[in-house]
Structure 1
């Protein structure tokens, strides 16, 4: 698939199953992340991969974080749902920004660079026929989750990228009118 086709047609694919992306697919997907725009060449991103039994351990971390956030008042159904979250895909990639002090590159730009790396991975996954989607939310911003995943004090978790084999063909990308989003600025 050529680059413009992937860029124009990529959509998130939520229903994922085994197998996880192959070694070759991962290499292409992960290499795409390294081409993200990166002011100052700080390379502020890093990624963790979680698969197999480690997904169950992540579910236990999610449960502890959710219970902490709710004061321990989760129903049995909420507990089961939270434990199962990491089982939605055979591979999870955790996106992390290593925040660095820099006179010209504020922390926001460093997060934006990581977001660019994630978008590049999502597009590369689509081009490879791999289903993928990016999730954030309360668990992504939980200090307990960050600590259990081994993040340093200067690191922030920017989300979870779920990857696997799509259970059905990807939906059609919505047709958007470029003119609805791009206008010429005129100083007159």
Structure 2
């Protein structure tokens, strides 16, 4: 089978970065990037992903809600940590909040498969951003699992958040990290349980 080398190179060169500046994608370009999310594998065609675009003045509002979440989850959270997270949320060119619209009552599609579909959608988003020359990083942390924050953003239980994507133009175009060898993470199954070199101390 022949492969599209340029597309494969995109996959092999992607790396996360939060060293970002304006511009972030807008308009038709952003719509095309977001369309890649719709191609994620999705058992049952539930399309359990939801995307919130946070830009302009809304970034400061998001930062305030995130800080409130941090303090709610940990009253003793260090001020330095608060300031860092507030700064990132308030100043990234674009933040895309990835939400999970879950259907736990669906007996055909297990909840974990719905969550995995959202994860696949997130990966498609990262790859599409990279393929169009933008940089991004997918961040989570304790605030991602705060049901109060999730509800404030439009995802009341049983729905939830899957993370925050910081998006923009990389300040350093050559931000790629060194590619790890694949061999330690691969084993050939011959009928008995396997071990992986990556799991050895």
- Give the TM-score normalised by the residue count of structure 2: 0.85
* Residue in structure 1 matching 2:125, options 118, 121, 124: 121
CA gap of 1:9–1:79, structure 2 versus 1, over 3 A, is: closer
In the alignment, which residue of structure 2 is the partner of 1:91? 94
1:155-170 matched pairs, under 5 angstroms: 155-170=159-174
1:80 aligns with 2:90: no
Cα distance in 2, alignment partners of residues 13 and 24 from structure 1? 24
8 Å contact kept, 1:15–1:167:
yes
Cα distance in 2, alignment partners of residues 68 and 48 from structure 1? 23
* Residue in structure 2 matching 1:41, options 45, 49, 56: 45
CA gap of 1:55–1:9, structure 2 versus 1, over 3 A, is: same
8 Å contact kept, 1:6–1:124:
no
Flag the structure with more relative contact order, 1 or 2, with Cα contacts below 8 A and sequence separation at least 6.
Answer: 1
8 Å contact kept, 1:20–1:164:
yes
CA gap of 1:140–1:170, structure 2 versus 1, over 3 A, is: farther
In the alignment, which residue of structure 2 is the partner of 1:14? 18
* Residue in structure 2 matching 1:110, options 114, 117, 130: 114
In the alignment, which residue of structure 2 is the partner of 1:61? 65
Cα distance in 2, alignment partners of residues 34 and 111 from structure 1? 15
Cα distance in 2, alignment partners of residues 170 and 144 from structure 1? 39
- State the 1:169 CA deviation: 1.4
Cα shift readout 1:133-176 (whole Å, capped 9, x = no counterpart):
10000111112211211213221100001101111114234233
Gapped regions of structure 1 (runs ≥ 5): none
In the alignment, which residue of structure 2 is the partner of 1:30? 34
Cα distance in 2, alignment partners of residues 79 and 174 from structure 1? 31
- Give the TM-score normalised by the residue count of structure 1: 0.91
8 Å contact kept, 1:58–1:86:
yes
8 Å contact kept, 1:17–1:88:
no
In the alignment, which residue of structure 2 is the partner of 1:182? 186
- State the 1:88 CA deviation: 4.5
8 Å contact kept, 1:59–1:83:
yes
8 Å contact kept, 2:140–2:164:
yes
Q: Count matched residues.
A: 187
